Structure 1
């Protein structure tokens, strides 16, 4: 079963994805790294040259391809849920986990990261608050499971996801 991780920047998608991959013995894929590999450029450069719409077009193409694969753990970018096509592909092809976190936790986790174009602003808290208001309903609407990550060790988050996946598998494959 594919597991797709969604949530805002700084929610732990990459960290949790790598750990979950090891725990479930499934390949880990990060959609942002895949976009960079295909473009031969980093995300800030793509934003500078193509703007957010150009980046979102690339993201949509990559998510469409990646969600067709089998037995992967996919960490998506924070804005992946903005496009209905992405939400549909995620929901149709795997178990979608929303890693939910507060704006305070996001600020703490992203404070020194210069690779986040949307945070290169004088008011990162304002930006994150606005993004959360816009995206939280989308994350919630397209997920199978919500896991709060604030002030939690990544291994405890992974353990919770594994427990829920095991319950899900038991429900879909009754003996």
Structure 2
């Protein structure tokens, strides 16, 4: 089975939905942010502070190179992974990419008490979310499928992705 790759903006439900899919299909979940944290031995917030976003993205791509070679896993990516076309190419070689979408206002509600997101630290959170979403949307729109997590519970979103994925797999 091709990998199920979840991407989308921070707070869109990638980790939560990824865990549900992995549980239901009894396969492994790999969270690329967690893998980057292991590489550096520090939180993403700290990585950005000490090394900057550029270094974070370089290591993120190395993680993508490694995990994209795996088979039959769920891969939950960081929200900015799609900004590098090489990452998308690697993930698509052995996977189907699902974009988890939520509008800016919903993301703000989900992240309102989260101060660990380096890209939302300075200035108004909603303005930053809108700006980043607008910048990333063309990249997200190139994914294979879009799932609106604003209108589905995490359980229903997971079921929808599994249903789409298994139907797609049966046609291969």
> Normalised by the shorter chain, which TM-score bucket?
over 0.9
Write the mapping of 1:15-164 to structure 2, written as runs, cut at 5 A: 15-141=16-142, 143-164=143-164
3-state SS of paired residue (1:5): strand
> For residues 130-152 of structure 1, what are the alpha-carbon distances to aligned partners after superposition, in whole Å with 9 as ceiling and x for unaligned?
111111110111x2111100042
User: How far apart, in 2, do the equivalents of 1:122 and 1:140 lie?
Assistant: 27
User: How far apart, in 2, do the equivalents of 1:156 and 1:32 lie?
Assistant: 24
Shift of 1:84: 1.2
User: How far apart, in 1, do the equivalents of 2:141 and 2:99 lie?
Assistant: 7
* Number of equivalent positions: 171
3-state SS of paired residue (2:29): strand
User: How far apart, in 1, do the equivalents of 2:32 and 2:146 lie?
Assistant: 20
| 4+ runs deviating over 3 angstroms | none
Shift of 1:114: 1.7
Aligned to 1:169: 169
Superposition TM-score, scaled by structure 2 size: 0.96
User: How far apart, in 2, do the equivalents of 1:156 and 1:17 lie?
Assistant: 12
RMSD over aligned CA atoms reads 0.9
Shift of 1:96: 0.7
Structure 1 stretches lacking a partner, 5+ long: none
